[in-house]
Amino acid sequence: MITRTLYYQTAALGIATILISSIIMLSGASPITVLDSMLSGAFSTPDQIARVFSTLSPLLLCACGLMFTFTAGLYNLGIEGQIVFGAIATMVPIRLLENSLPPALVILLAIAFGTAGGMLWGLFAGILNVYGRINEIFAGLGLNFVADGLALYLIFGPWKRPGVASMSGTEQFGEVLWLPTFGNTEASPVALAIALLALGATLLVLRGTYYGLQLRAVGYNLRAAYVLGVPSVRQLLSAFAICGGLAGVAGALQVLAVFHRLIPSISSHLGYLALLVAMLAGTNLWLLLPIAFFFSALNIGSLQLPLSLNLESSLAGVMQGMLVLAVLLGRGLSETNWLDKISVLRRNV
Amino acid sequence: MNFLGKSPLAAFPLLGRSRILWSALLLGMLAGGCATSTPTANTTSPTAGESPAGTTATTGEPFIVGMVLVGPKNDAGWNQSHYEGMQAVVQQMPNVKFEYIDKVNPADRPNVTGAQVADDLIAKGAKLVIFNSDDFKDDALETAKKHPDIAIIHASGDYAWKEGKNFKNQPNLGNIMARMEYGKMMAGCAAALGTETGKIGYLGALINDETRRYASAAYLGARYCWENYLNRNPDDLEFKVTWIGFWFNIPGKTLDPTKVADDFYNGGYDVVMSGIDTPEAAVQGKKAAAAGKPVKFVHYDYKNGCDLAPDICLGVPYYNWNVPYGEAIQKAMAGTMPNQFVWLAPNWSDINNPQTSMIGFLPGKALGDKKQYIDQLIKGMGDGSINLFTGPLNFQDGTPYLKAGETATDQQIWYLPQLLQGMEGPSQ
């Protein structure tokens, strides 16, 4: 079975490579040059490498969160909104206490608020799903719009820079509140440590605890799990809350480590990217880190496409999407025994 | 732990069930990603980036100039005027190589900041980096601090202005801007000369010092010409500003400038002035005119803007960015850091000279024989007999801005805190 899956996966990756290459060639470039310039765009200067890591942290956090909801059989498309709401909540202690408490304490509070904010937004989607019977995909997407709207309102309204009404964001806060970085780059060891910690905890909880087992049972078959005495509602809501909480931390990192203010697209669409990472990893948690790293590198390296090759940097998104589609397709085909069916048909004829 | 030994998908029962849904969502995301990236689709442009300098570079290393553009380089407005200004510089200075990235804003490039783009440009060898939007003030300062040996120019900012409010003592950071308030006065004058209904709409970007200054200058120009050349009562002139929230349309985040322009044209505002980077006022005006409406527009930023709809164009105030950039590049090549605040007036003896005047004004066809009044205004402003920033002038809320006979200082003009009395629309 394993070899069969492997066989299909390899074929799927091969097909994805061919498709991606043909798209690149259609846009008038060579796939090798594109790959080369993206990799060099991600790894040739310390700044670029640092940026790969500073993207990796929120991406990994979100992907870890999504493992909880996926395990519970849920599609948390509301993760973008959970990042945004986490980022908004992060700004609250910063704005209120920036000048009255020691910076380290403000940063801690900000991360705590961010986590709580994301968790709240996740729970909100969960409540709509469990009690309101609204499919979590639509509840999540709806809440994404609400969180986006709220961020815009704050940026244009109560939190706007003095005398300015622009969607370019709130005033930057003082450098003492920025997370410490490696040298003069953008990568923060604190952010990276938080993300790796979250990955470790995710591995531990989902693989090694009774809670993880219960969550899995809920994911397998909600009704059966309920009948067998698993507190299903609690499990579902907790999955939403954990995922939202981790997304909230990601939002806090976007504010504290990357942008140092609230901007309208504070999530940088990393939530959607994390969905791709999680889908590609499937249940194999060990794959999260390498895939997230690879996707971060593509994301950062893609800036070289307009710079060196005059190509659109959204090509990176096309590549990532293609890859995921192909792998899902490969997985699906490896489970349907259509080859067997055909041979059975042949024999019958 | 035997539950681990299942097939990889076993814990994803829904994944099998709704694979189609997933595929649809993915495709949707991809399509969305592509849709936002259409503006610079014409990458076949022969002037792209590297060719001119690459082929004509004389001996020695080329001097690389990097530019961070907030919007698409072909927006028929602000960004295109910067881009083409640099192309003109490259043509005149073969030893200069131009590298740029456009559309650097959170909507088009979600995970990218201006400072990061500058880092990459500098990594590619740029010795001078230009940020082209007010939006980049923090990025420009951050980059200047991080790379003290690289010359940084922030167009439209004020961090290098010693007499300004926000002076940061950063030796390698300079600012460049044109006294476009003059251009806006000419534009406002053209609008007033062109309107039949006496209602002028101003399609505004975001609200800040710069945009308040320009909208107010446009109003002053409009009122002056309305009163002095058309002999009409200034109280009969309506001047309404609608701000969209950014320099160009960002779907779902800003007001849609297409709709704002339409609302103006349908609401009796027969002249719409553009204060944004993109040409919606022209495009929608052309449509309205084709449908029989007697409407006209005033463009902004880009010299060839009237070509968008020549018959209904009243004129365009525009920038020649090659003038200040060429000079700054020459200085930087000689080793001088651009730590100055450069705020250039037009070359009054010949405002449309592309080599000497940073701003110009090209009157449009729709102005007809009223063009003579614009010439009078330009002449008056050039010889100093007309200064529209002269009191008595009040702010929008009725508080005094300038006393009778008082003329505004540079600071009072640059940091205009409110729109002026007589204008409609929010000030903050």
Residue B20 has what pLDDT?
Answer: 43
Tell me the two tokens of residue A321.
């999407």
* Mean pLDDT, chain B, whole residue set: 87
What's the pLDDT score for residue B159? 95
- Give the pLDDT of residue B2: 39
pLDDT band per the 50, 70, 90 thresholds, residue B13: very low
> Which amino acid is located at B56 in the chain?
T
Inter-chain residue contact A268 with B428, CB threshold 8 Å: no
Residue B376 confidence (pLDDT) above 50: yes
- Say yes or no: B428 contacts chain A, CB-CB below 8 A: yes
Whether B401 has its CB under 8 Å from any CB of chain A: the answer is no
Residue of A nearest to B67 (CA): A307
Is A77's CB within 8 Å of B25's CB? yes
Q: What is the pLDDT of residue B46?
A: 37
Residues A42-49: what's their mean pLDDT? 94
Under an 8 A CB cutoff, do B253 and A167 touch? yes
What pTM, to 2 d.p., does this model score? 0.86
Please determine, for residue B313, whether its predicted confidence score (pLDDT) is greater than 60.
yes
Residue B207 pairs in a beta bridge with A165
Give B48's contacts in chain A (Cβ within 8 Å): 310
Yes or no, beta carbons of B22 and A311 under 8 Å apart = no
CB contact under 8 A, A70 and B250: no
To the nearest whole Å, the CA of B134 is away from the closest chain A CA by: 10
pLDDT at B55 over 60: no
The Cα A178–Cα B265 span in angstroms is 47
- Cα–Cα distance for residue pair B84/B71, rounded to 1 Å: 14
CB A53 within 8 A of CB A192: yes
pLDDT score of A267: 95
C-alpha distance from residue B404 to each of A136, B392, B412, B418 (Å): 65, 4, 15, 18
Of A56 and A283, which is predicted with more confidence? A56
More confident site: B68 or B19: B68
Residue B25 CA, chain-centre distance (Å), reads 36
Judged against a pLDDT cut of 90, whether residue B21 lies above it is answered with no
Name the percent of chain A lying above pLDDT 90. 68
What CA–CA distance (Å, rounded) separates A97 from A107?
A: 10
> Does the structure show a pLDDT above 90 at B318?
yes
Reported confidence tier of residue B253, pLDDT bands at 50, 70, 90: confident
Kindly state whether B231 is in contact with chain A, defined as any CB-CB distance less than 8 angstroms. no
Q: Which of the residue ranges A127-131, A134-138, A175-179, B58-62 would you say has the lowest mean pLDDT? A: B58-62
Instruction: Please indicate if any CB of chain A lies within 8 Å of the CB of B30.
Output: yes
A334 has pLDDT over 60: yes
Distance from CA of B93 to the nearest CA of A (A): 21
Band the pLDDT of A341: cuts 50, 70, 90.
low
Q: Tell me if A268 and B208 make a contact (CB, 8 A cut-off).
A: no
CA-based nearest distance B135→chain A, Å: 6
Nearest Cα of chain A lies from the Cα of B106 at a distance, in angstroms, of: 6
CA distances from B224 to B74, B190, B237 (A): 34, 11, 11
Q: Which residue of A has its CA nearest to B70?
A: A168
pLDDT band at B403 (very low <50, low <70, confident <90, very high): very high
Residue B38 has pLDDT above 60, yes or no: no
Delineate the domains of chain B, giving CATH numbers in brackets: 46-178 (3.40.50.2300), 181-318+359-424 (3.40.50.2300)
- pLDDT value for B262: 97
By percentage, how much of chain B surpasses pLDDT 90? 82
With CA atoms as reference, the chain A residue closest to B4 would be A207
Q: Is pLDDT of A100 > 70?
A: yes
Judged by CB atoms closer than 8 Å, whether chains meet at B9 and A335 is answered as: yes
Which residues on chain A are in Cβ contact (under 8 Å) with B1?
207
Distance CA B359, CA B342 (A): 13
Does the N-terminal peptide bond of residue A58 adopt cis geometry, omega within 30 degrees of 0?
no
pLDDT of residue B42: 36
Question: Which of A83, A283, A296 to mutate: most B Cβ within 10 Å?
Answer: A283
Which residue in B43, B109, B206 is closest to A166 by CB distance? B206
Q: What is the reported pLDDT for A339?
A: 62
| Facing residue for B99 by CB, picked from A221, A307, A314 | A307
Region A104-115 average pLDDT? 97
Please give the pLDDT value at position A84: 98
Residue B319: φ, ψ to 5°: -110, 145
Set of chain B residues whose Cβ sits within 8 Å of the Cβ of A48: 119-120, 123
Q: What pLDDT score was predicted for residue A7? A: 83
Residue of B nearest to A276 (CA): B26
Q: Could you report the per-residue pLDDT of A318-329, keeping only the tens digit for each? A: 888 888 888 888
SS3 A31: helix
Q: Which helix (H) or strand (E) holds A99?
A: none
Position B58 confidence tier, pLDDT thresholds 50, 70, 90 = very low
Lowest mean pLDDT among A277-286, B79-88, B199-208: A277-286
DSSP-derived letter for residue A165 is B
* pLDDT higher than 60, residue B49: no
For residue A307, the chain B residues in CB contact (below 8 A) are 99, 101, 120-121, 124
Predicted confidence band of residue B32 (pLDDT cuts 50, 70, 90): very low
**With contacts defined as CB-CB under 8 Å, which chain B residues touch A258?**
113
Q: What is the DSSP string of A77-91?
A: TTHHHHHHHHHHHHH
For A158, nearest residue in chain B (alpha carbons): B428
Tokens of B394: 């009040």
- Please give the pLDDT value at position A122: 97
pLDDT at position A27 is 85
Whole-angstrom distance, CA of residue B57 vs CA of residue B96? 8
Report yes or no: B121 at the A interface, CB cutoff 8 Å.
yes
CA–CA separation, A237 vs B421, rounded Å? Answer: 56
- The beta-carbon neighbor of A321 closest among B26, B102, B426 is B26
∠A24-A30-A35 over CA atoms, to 5°?
80
Asked whether the beta carbons of residue A284 and residue B112 sit closer than 8 angstroms, the reply is: no
Interface contact B28, partner A, CB < 8 A: no
B35 vs A: CB within 8 A: no
| Tens digit of each residue's pLDDT (9 = 90 or more) over B87-135 | 999 999 999 999 999 999 988 898 899 999 999 999 999 999 999 999 8
Query: Are residues A220 and B209, on separate chains, in Cβ contact within 8 Å?
Result: no
Say what the pLDDT of residue B89 is.
96
On whether any CB of chain A is under 8 Å from the CB of B25, the answer is: yes
Q: If we measure between CA atoms, which residue out of B126, B138, B66, B116 comes closest to residue A52?
A: B116
pLDDT digits (tens, 9 = 90+) for B138-180: 999 999 999 999 999 999 999 999 999 999 999 999 999 999 9
Above 80 in pLDDT, residue A147?
A: yes
Name which of A77, A166, A317 is nearest B33 (Cβ-Cβ).
Answer: A317
Q: Which of A104-118, A157-171, A229-243, B332-346 has the least mean pLDDT?
A: A157-171
Where residue A8 falls among pLDDT bands split at 50, 70, 90? confident
The three-state DSSP-derived secondary structure of chain B is: CHHHHCCCCCCCHHHHHCHHHHHHHHHHHHHHHHHCCHHHCCCCCCCCCCHHHHHHCCCCCCEEEEEECCCCCCCCCHHHHHHHHHHHHHHHCCCEEEEEECCCCCCCCCCCCHHHHHHHHHHCCCCEEEECCHHHHHHHHHHHHHCCCCEEEEECCCCCCCCCCCCCCCCCEEEEEECHHHHHHHHHHHHHHHCCCCEEEEEECCECHHHHHHHHHHHHHHHHHHHHCCCCCHHHCEEEEEECCCCCCCCCCCCCHHHHHHHHHHCCCCEEEECCCCCHHHHHHHHHHHCCCCCEEECCECHHHHHHCHHHEEEEEEECCHHHHHHHHHHHHCCCCCCCEEEECCCCCCCCCCCCCCEEEEECHHHHHHHHHHHHHHHHHHHCCCCCCECCEEECCCCEEECCCCECCHHHHHCCCCCECCEECCCC
Candidates B71, B34, B64; CA nearest to B50 is: B64
Residue scoring higher pLDDT (A11 or A335): A11
* Pairwise CB contact (< 8 Å): B11 & A265: no
Please check whether residue A266 is in contact with residue A83, taking contact to mean a CB–CB distance below 8 angstroms. Answer: yes
Instruction: List chain A domain ranges.
Output: 45-282
